[in-house]
Amino acid sequence: MFQKELAVVTLSGGMDSCVALAHALDKGFDVALLHADYGQRTEARERKAFMEIAQYYRILPQRQLIVPFGHLSLIGGSSLIGMEQSIPEGDLHRQGVPSTYVPFRNGHLLSTATSWAEVLGASRIYVGFVQEDSSGYPDCTETFLKSFEKTAEIGTKPETQLTFHAPLLHQSKREIILWGDKLKAPFHLTWSCYQENERACGRCDSCLLRLRGFHEAGLIDPIPYTSGPNHF
C-alpha cells in the first residue's frame, strides 16, 4: 500500500500555523500536529483552538501532541508568560525586540518538532513563521530556520533526514489570509489575541496585525472582538 510521507506541523492555534497546516495537507502529506504550552496567558484559549482545528481536519489522537514547556515559565523573561509585566498595547511601528519575545522560544519548539519527527519517522517540519509580521523576534527568521535545519541534520541519527518549511515566511498577513481563504483554512477556529480568552482585545500587536490583514484582504474576520483598533 502506498504510504504518504509524514510531516510534523507546529500548530499554535493562530492563523499562520493554521494556514501552514492547510498547505501541508494540500501538498498531500499526512500530518502530526504539535502544540507547545509555554505558560503564556492565553494558553487555554490557544489549546482550544488547536483541538478544534485538529478535529476539523480529523487528525488522529496519536498524531496530536501537546507538550508542556514548563521550563520556559521557570526561566521567564517575557511579558507573554508570568504576570509581572503587562502586555504592551499594539504599536506596529515600534523598533527592536518587543517585551512579548520569549527568549529563544523557537529553539525549544523546533527541538521538540525534531525529536518527535525523529521518533515518528517524519520527513518534514512545517512552521507558521512570518518574518515580516513577526514583531522583530530574532528566532522567527529564515536565517534562523535554515541554521536550525543544519543543526538538526548534524544532531540527529544519520537516517533521520528532515527539512524545515515555513511556507508563509515572506508573505504579508493579507497574502496569508487570501491563501488560507483559498485553501478553506478554518479561520473561525483560530485565535491570535495575546490578551484575552473570550473575545479578542483588538488592541494588542497580534490583534492589530490580524485585523489589518483582513482589512487589506477585503474579507471579514469571523472571530469576535471586544473593540476595534484605533489605527493599523
Q: Tell me how far apart the alpha carbons of residues 19 and 204 are, in angstroms, rounded to a whole number.
A: 21
Residue 107 vs 222, nearer CB to a copy of itself? 107
Q: What is the 3-state secondary structure (H, E, C) of the chain?
A: CCCCCEEEEECCCCHHHHHHHHHHHHCCCEEEEEEEECCECCHHHHHHHHHHHHHHCCCCHHHEEEEECHHHHHHCCCCCECCCCCCCCCCCCCCCCCCCCCCCHHHHHHHHHHHHHHHHCCCEEECCCCCCCCCCCCCCCHHHHHHHHHHHHHHCCCCCCCEEECCCCCCCHHHHHHHHHHCCCCHHHCCCCCCCCCCECCCCHHHHHHHHHHHHHCCCCCCCECCCCCCC
Q: Tell me how far apart the alpha carbons of residues 188 and 180 are, in angstroms, rounded to a whole number.
A: 11
- Least distance between a copy of itself and beta carbon 161 (Å): 13
Residue 147 vs 227, nearer CB to a copy of itself? 147
Residue 155 vs 222, nearer CB to a copy of itself? 155
- Least distance between a copy of itself and beta carbon 143 (Å): 5
- Least distance between a copy of itself and beta carbon 168 (Å): 18
Residue 148 vs 194, nearer CB to a copy of itself? 148
Residue with cell 479578542: 200
- Least distance between a copy of itself and beta carbon 137 (Å): 9
Residue 93 vs 157, nearer CB to a copy of itself? 157
Residue 106 vs 192, nearer CB to a copy of itself? 106
- Least distance between a copy of itself and beta carbon 63 (Å): 13
- Least distance between a copy of itself and beta carbon 190 (Å): 23
Interface ranges with a copy of itself (CB under 8 A): 36, 65, 67-72, 74-77, 97, 101-108, 110-112, 114-116, 118-119, 138-139, 141, 143-144, 147-148, 150-152, 154-158
